[in-house]
């Protein structure tokens, strides 16, 4: 298990890949949800779909920076590099 994702329970926008511009409700890191790496989830439909998408279509890194969440009612795995991260203004005092 790892520390909960900063995006857990938040809705983010996917910025690239197959699901570009879709809203994604993040549950947490895949390994926190499934108890193991997405690469070790043999037979899990969401993991199989991600593996095919990562290697064939969207050219994603093969690491564990992968989130589990929902697009509509379907569970999907999304690599952290695919989500849009909102950068908040930082005020610097002099």
89 found inside a domain: no
- The verdict on residue 31 lying in a domain is yes
Instruction: Give this prediction's pTM.
Output: 0.86
Sequence-distant (≥ 6) Cβ neighbours of residue 42 within 8 angstroms:
none
**Domain extent at residue 58:** 11-82
Residues in the chain predicted with pLDDT less than 50, given as ranges, are 87-94
- 3 within some domain: no
pLDDT > 90 in the chain, percent: 76
Residue 92 lies in a domain: no
CA distance 79 to 61: 8
Please give the mean pLDDT across all residues of the chain.
89
pLDDT of residue 86: 65
Q: Residue 55's pLDDT is what? A: 86
């Amino acid at each position: 298990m790892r520390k909960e994702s900063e995006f857990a329970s938040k809705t983010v926008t996917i910025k690239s890949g197959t699901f570009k511009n879709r809203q994604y409700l993040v549950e947490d890191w895949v390994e926190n949800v499934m108890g193991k790496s997405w690469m070790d989830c043999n037979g899990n439909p969401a993991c199989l779909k991600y593996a095919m998408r990562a290697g064939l279509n969207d050219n994603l890194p093969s690491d564990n920076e992968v989130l589990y969440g929902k697009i509509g009612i379907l569970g999907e795995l999304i690599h952290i590099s695919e989500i849009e991260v909102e950068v908040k203004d930082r005020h610097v005092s002099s």
